[in-house]
Structure formats: structure tokens, C-alpha cells
Structure 1
Amino acid sequence: MSVFASPRFLRQVLLVDAAACLATGALQLGLTSRLAEALALPGPLLASTGAFLLGYAALAAWVASRQPVPTGWVTLFVAGNAAWGVACIGLLAAGVLAPNAWGQAWVLAQALTVIVLAELQWLGLRARRARPLAA
């Protein structure tokens, strides 16, 4: 059986997503001023996205605890993660922000992380749809 077809795969990916958002959100909200200075990113952007990430983490963890994991929520998370990744890259490419090299790395790391998570969630959904209902 493929790892993507495992009945636990989506739950585990959602828990990783929740943990990553919890860590990033807590850092951005708890260390807003220090990160703003170190990364040359706007403090209000870091604080507001940090707060959003904490809420997202709670929701993703809650969805992961459902039996079975609700497909509709995972589909929404796929779209949200993909949009977050595109927005991160778009902000840098458009020159809307002027982060230093560390700030660029911070934003690109978020983009890469959420794009990978979106892909893993999508693969899990596809494998679930291909799995017989009795599984």
C-alpha cells in the first residue's frame, strides 16, 4: 500500500500543518518586534499573519481529530496553503516588501512549506478517493 493511501496519512499531514503553523504563528506573534527588525518585514504583517496562523493551527488540529477526516476541510486547506504560497512569492516578486536576505528566506521558507503541505494533502485526498469505502 502506498504511504499516501494509508488511512492515517491525511491526519498526520494535518497535524504537521498544525504544528508548523503553531510554531510560526507563535514566533511571529511573540517576537514581532525582534523579527521585524531582524527580517526587515513590517511588524503589523508579522503580527496579523502570526495570529491567523495560530487560529489556522487550532482548526487544522481539530479537523485532524475528526473521524473520518472531513474531505471538504482538507480541500479548503489545500486551496488555502496553495494561495498562501503564491501570495508569499507574489509579495516578494512584486516588490511590495523590502525584506533583507533573512526576511526573503523567511518568506520563501513559508512558501515552500505550505506548497509542500498542499501537495501532500492533495495526494492524500486523491488516494482516499481511490481507496474502497470499506478501507
Structure 2
Amino acid sequence: MTIATPIATDRLLRLALRIDGVASGALGVGLLALAGVAEDRLGASTALTVSVGIFLVLFGAALVLLAARPRIPPAAVWVIIIGNLGWVAESVILAVSDDLTGLGVALTLAQAAAVLVFADLEYAGLRRAMRR
């Protein structure tokens, strides 16, 4: 089986993609809803909050749609895993940049930890699916 061959996935991979998608979408909606107050409370600019919120809503929808496919391309899962790891790295960089408030740092690191768990679950699910 190659990285381009779609795989029939197991429940772990589908569940990880769905939860990642729902959590990403929910965070995106929350950021969009709170964009006006995020600058004061979190230290994040409104432009950043809105941009990230829109991205997360779209990303979350894409993950839910991917999880619903009968066969999932491993390359797509690798893109998500690598993207999630990049997101974690960027979140840590943002958290130590001195621009965020204490609450902003705490929320940024908390969501980074959750994304790291999603990446790990997606990797585990992909490995299990590839062995079948």
C-alpha cells in the first residue's frame, strides 16, 4: 500500500479526525464571536483572531468531511498531522512572544496541547489503518 492509495480506515482515525474537526470549528466560531474583546482579554489583534477563526471553521469542516469518506487517502492524513504539528510550534512561538496576556498565553498553550493530542491520535489511527 502506498501513501497515495486510499485506505479503509479504522474507528480511531475517523474519530480523531471528527473530534479534531469539531474542536477546530468550535474554537473558530468562538474566536469569531469574541473577536472584538479578544484584543483586550487575550492580547491577540482582532485581525489575527478573525483570520484564525475563519481558518479554523473551514479546517474543521474539511476534517469532518474527510472523516466521512469511505476511504481516506493517507497523504491527506499526513498533511493534517504535519499541519497540526506546525500549528503547535507556531502556538508556542506566539505564546512566548510577549504580545499575549496571561490568559492569552494559557489559552494558546492549552489549545496547542489539545492539537498535539489530535496529531498523535491521527498518527496512531493512520498506522493502524495502514497495517490492515
What's the TM-score, normalizing by structure 1? 0.86
- Residue in 2 that maps onto 1:14: 17
Q: Which runs of 5+ in 2 are unaligned?
A: 1-8
- Residue in 2 that maps onto 1:3: none
Q: Which runs of 5+ in 1 are unaligned?
A: 1-5
In 1, Cα distance between the equivalents of 2:10 and 2:100?
41
- Residue in 2 that maps onto 1:109: 110
1:70 pairs with one of 70, 73, 86: 73
1:60 pairs with one of 52, 56, 63: 63
- Residue in 2 that maps onto 1:122: 123
Contact persistence 2:38–2:45 (CA under 8 A): no
Q: Which structure exhibits the higher relative contact order, with contacts defined as CA atoms closer than 8 Å and separated by 6 or more residues?
A: 2
In structure 1, what residue type is equivalent to 2:95? L
Tell me the C-alpha RMSD between the 2 structures: 1.3
Post-superposition, which runs of at least 4 consecutive aligned residues in structure 1 deviate over 6 A?
A: none
Report the count of equivalent residues: 124
